[in-house]
């Protein structure tokens, strides 16, 4: 037996109903979008002009060496700024351009507070470039140029090849400077560092690191490899011999368990 489909009239009525439902859904969607757009526009207009969201308080966290006033001056935030609209990335970039700032974070706390958190760079040594001296951190970033009346921070690092000038806050990419800083770091870890003063690290000779101390008449020579082991050996020998070495020119640490003294 062959089943006959719905009459044509019933199929047309069903199709009209589906089309009507579709049109009603589309109209409803347009109405919803219009209402939401109006709400968003009204809210946007409110937050951009309302004095409630103007910056009223700025808090600086993490500043030790830097003055808060200097950071705020570079950040450039005023009470005319709207908390929703100001450019946090631009403020972060400006603050991080300060030589003593390692990193910066800008946080909005609604409705009217801005928090600027910084991590400062710590001076570690002093780098001599031609006749100028710069304070640098452990990463080799120049922080400021020292003047004659300024005492150097840490040892003077001299003899870095192919270095004619530096730019503040721009890291110096130099293997020799990195080695000099690692030498200073290794020496700083041993007890001897509290007893004698390391005054200069010279990198003039690529085959050896030369250090000078205020408390000895001779220089101490290092290899660029195994700096920590050499520092520990120096500490052991110094205390074993109570600082008495038959050296007038140099003490050489580069020969593992043996030392050369002249």
The single residue listed with the structure tokens 């600027």 is 116
Structural domains in the chain, CATH included, are: 52-120 (3.10.20.310), 123-261 (3.40.50.11690)
Structure tokens at 202: 């010279």
- Across 173-182, average pLDDT: 95
Closest C-alpha among 220, 153, 141 to residue 187: 220
pLDDT band at 142 (very low <50, low <70, confident <90, very high): very high
Structure tokens at 81: 């700024």
Average confidence score pLDDT of the chain = 85
* Segments in the chain forming alpha helices (H): 8-49, 68-75, 88-96, 175-188, 227-240
Query: Whole-model pTM?
Result: 0.75
- Across 137-150, average pLDDT: 92
User: Across the beta sheet with 219-222, what order do the strands follow?
Assistant: 142-146, 132-137, 123-129, 156-158, 198-202, 209-213, 219-222, 250-255, 258-261
Q: CA-to-CA distance for 223 and 30, rounded, in angstroms?
A: 76
- Residue-wise pLDDT tens digits, 90-140: 999 999 999 999 999 999 898 889 999 999 999 999 999 988 999 999 999
Q: Which residues of 243-260 are buried (b: 16+ CB within 10 A; e: fewer)?
A: eebebeeebbbbeeeebe
Q: Is the dihedral of CA 78, 83, 89, 90 positive or negative?
A: negative
What local confidence, expressed as pLDDT, does residue 42 receive? 47
């Amino acid at each position: 037996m062959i089943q006959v489909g719905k009459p044509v009239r019933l199929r047309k009525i069903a199709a009209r109903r589906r089309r009507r439902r579709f049109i009603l859904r589309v109209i409803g969607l347009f109405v919803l979008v219009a209402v939401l757009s109006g709400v968003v526009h009204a809210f946007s207009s409110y937050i951009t002009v309302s004095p409630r969201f103007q910056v009223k308080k700025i808090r600086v966290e993490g500043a030790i060496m830097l003055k808060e006033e200097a950071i705020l001056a570079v950040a450039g935030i005023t009470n005319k700024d709207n908390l929703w609209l100001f450019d946090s990335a631009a403020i972060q970039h400006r603050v991080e351009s300060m030589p003593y700032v390692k990193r910066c974070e800008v946080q909005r706390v609604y409705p009217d507070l801005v928090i600027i958190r910084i991590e400062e760079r710590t001076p570690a040594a002093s780098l001599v470039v031609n006749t100028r001296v710069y304070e640098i951190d452990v990463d080799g970033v120049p922080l400021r140029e020292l003047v004659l009346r300024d005492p150097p921070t840490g040892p003077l690092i001299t003899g870095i090849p192919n270095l004619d000038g530096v730019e503040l806050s721009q890291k110096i990419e130099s293997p020799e400077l990195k080695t000099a800083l690692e030498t200073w770091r290794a020496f700083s870890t041993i007890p001897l560092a509290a007893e004698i003063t390391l005054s200069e690290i010279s990198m003039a000779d690529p085959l050896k690191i030369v250090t000078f101390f205020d408390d000895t008449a001779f220089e101490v020579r290092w290899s660029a490899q195994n700096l920590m082991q050499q520092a520990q050996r120096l500490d052991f020998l110094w205390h074993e011999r109570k600082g008495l070495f038959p050296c007038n020119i140099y003490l050489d640490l580069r020969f593992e368990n043996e030392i050369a003294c002249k």
